[in-house]
Amino acid sequence: MRRFEGRVAVVTGGAHGIGRASALRLASEGAAVAVVDLNREGAEETAALVDGDAAAFVCDVSDPDAVAGTFARIRERFGGIDVLHSNAGVLVPGGADATSVGDWDRTFAVNVRGMFLAAQAALPPMLERGRGAIVNTASTSGIAAEPELAAYCASKAAVIGLTKQLAVDYSRRGVRVNCVCPGWIDTGFNDPVLEGVSDEELQGLIDRMVPLGRQGTPEEIASVVAFLASDDASLVTGHALVADGGLTAL
């Protein structure tokens, strides 16, 4: 399929994991891709893996000036923006009694403010064209709370709320806004909460918690992102699409 032929996609948090898989999937369907991440080496590596037009941009998504400047450079480089996969995020474990104000603020700065700023920067070129698609990465942790993840769960619930609000404001002007809610995905992003957990213990948790009996892959989430960003999802907006192997069904 070439659903994104002639379109420009921006992927934040594109240096690894879901972001990298999303950038590669969108590119494989014809998109020119701007890979945005704070990790220069990882972003450049992702861009180099793209079989097509791609460029890496270094940006702290929590910094308003950095986001505005980066998206301006993206528009200069590619001429516009049609798709935004807002994926940059952090995971800081801890219950409320063990979470510092600094960790709380950092989590919300990246996970929520970062998505607000990215949407704010991507909306003008989308509205100029009268079309666009924004896909935010939320989490099942924003739907069903998990132990010892106070800041992360709260931030991902906020992402879902932000997604729905943006959809209400901009869908009639041609910009659909949705989010994907991954469950257990096999990436290094989960390392902070898996410290000291053996492979056998992890598989035991997966067996008990996930009806499919396995973790998902970044590529599986990328396929959901591509669907939500494509015209195949033309009637879908303001939706939090769960991709969790049945985790939240239990």
Q: Residue 30 region, left (φ>0) first, then alpha (ψ -120 to 50), else beta?
A: left
- Catalytic site residue from 57, 152, 170, 189: 152
Q: Is 152 a residue of the active site?
A: yes
Cα separations in angstroms, 177 against 43, 61, 115, 228: 24, 19, 12, 9
Asked if 163 and 44 touch (Cβ cutoff 8 Å), the reply is: no
- Lay out the sheet containing 8-12: strands in order across: 54-58, 32-37, 8-12, 83-86, 132-137, 175-182, 240-243
Report the DSSP pairing between strands 8-12 and 32-37: parallel
Say which amino acid occupies 35. V
Cα separations in angstroms, 226 against 29, 73, 146: 9, 24, 27
* 3-class secondary structure per residue, 158-217: HHHHHHHHHHHHHHHHCEEEEEEEECCECCHHHHHHHCCCCHHHHHHHHHHHCCCCCCEC
Residues annotated as part of the active site: 152
